[in-house]
Amino acid sequence: MQDPPPDGTVRRDQDGPVLRLTIDRPARRNALAPGMVAELIDALTDAATDESLRVVHIEGAGPDFCSGVDWVATNSDSRRPRTGDLIRRIPHTANRLIELVHTIHLPVVCTVRGWAAGMGCNLALAADFTVAASDAMFWEPFLSRGFSPDTGSTWLLPRLVGLARAKRMLLLGEKIGGSEAADWGLIHQAAEPGDLDRHSAELVSRLAAAPTVALGLSKQAIHDNQDASLSQALSHELLTLELACRTADFKEGLAAFQDRRAPEFRGR
């Protein structure tokens, strides 16, 4: 395997219905340079309309997942940024990436070892399922660097772990280990480092065999209904049910139930 370029890259590998995205800049703990963020956005945008895919799996090369945005690379120009630069740029870069992970109808799995800091932490939190090594470290270092949180951390954390724990991570900058993150409900599962890849592979395989359309509709309903009334949630569920019942996987599920066998979903 060739060494990644100094400013990093994101490797795309498709294994049947699984798209594997590897953040590849281990010398910088997989810190995201601007081009890498663009590569992740392009990969997820393409995946959203690729009917051969059923799961997206994101991981980091080497001993770490992602240490966040590389602010040195992002601000390498010696000129002072013009007023409003962040407001113009970030919605189409870092924020767009978090939105795509959160809203794409394919399930997204992150495998975390080592550091998941800043945007790297929020990327893992936006995923549908994050499996982390028990000794991994989740960190929101924004205030320790003198600026306020970004990339969805103030939205994601309170919903996942409540206000008190969110403030511990965001305002006090507490680092949370993988085992504690699982205990808090911050992530899906923690595993011993030697077992991490096996647990991730089992989860990815399970999702790849799921009814993909119904799963995507369910993901959308779960997210949209967090801020809905019961009446709105029921109406949304009814619309997604109508769509799910028109899929080939729905017919297969009924046939498998009648035949008393395990269903073989095709993602259609």
User: Residue 88 class from Cβ within 10 Å (0-12 exposed, 13-18 middle, 19+ buried)?
Assistant: exposed
What is the pairing mode between strands 115-117 and 137-139?
Answer: parallel
Which region, left, alpha or beta, applies to residue 265 given φ > 0 means left and ψ of -120 to 50 means alpha? beta
Q: State whether 20 and 62 are in the same domain.
A: yes
Number of structural domains the chain divides into = 2
Q: State whether 222 and 243 are in the same domain.
A: yes
Q: State whether 246 and 123 are in the same domain.
A: no
Q: State whether 165 and 185 are in the same domain.
A: yes
How does pLDDT run across 98-145, given as a tens digit for each residue?
Answer: 999 999 999 999 999 999 999 999 999 999 999 999 999 999 999 888
CATH number at residue 107: 3.90.226.10
Domain range for 172 is 9-208
**The pLDDT value given to residue 4:** 66
Q: State whether 54 and 77 are in the same domain.
A: yes
Q: State whether 144 and 116 are in the same domain.
A: yes
Asked if residue 67 is part of any domain, the answer here is: yes
How does pLDDT run across 37-57, given as a tens digit for each residue?
Answer: 999 999 999 999 999 999 999
Asked if residue 266 is part of any domain, the answer here is: no
Residue 22 has phi, psi (to 5 degrees) of: -115, 120
Q: State whether 172 and 229 are in the same domain.
A: no
Task: Name, in order, each residue with C-beta under 8 angstroms of 246's C-beta and a sequence gap of 6 or more.
Answer: none
> What does each C-alpha distance from 34 to 61, 98, 110, 145, 181 come to in angstroms?
18, 14, 20, 19, 28
Angle at 103 between CA 214 and CA 56, to 5 degrees: 75
Full-model pTM: 0.92
Q: State whether 119 and 251 are in the same domain.
A: no
Q: State whether 109 and 189 are in the same domain.
A: yes
How does pLDDT run across 218-248, given as a tens digit for each residue?
Answer: 999 999 999 999 999 999 999 999 999 999 9
Asked if residue 228 is part of any domain, the answer here is: yes
CATH number at residue 255: 1.10.12
How does pLDDT run across 12-38, given as a tens digit for each residue?
Answer: 999 999 999 999 999 999 999 999 999
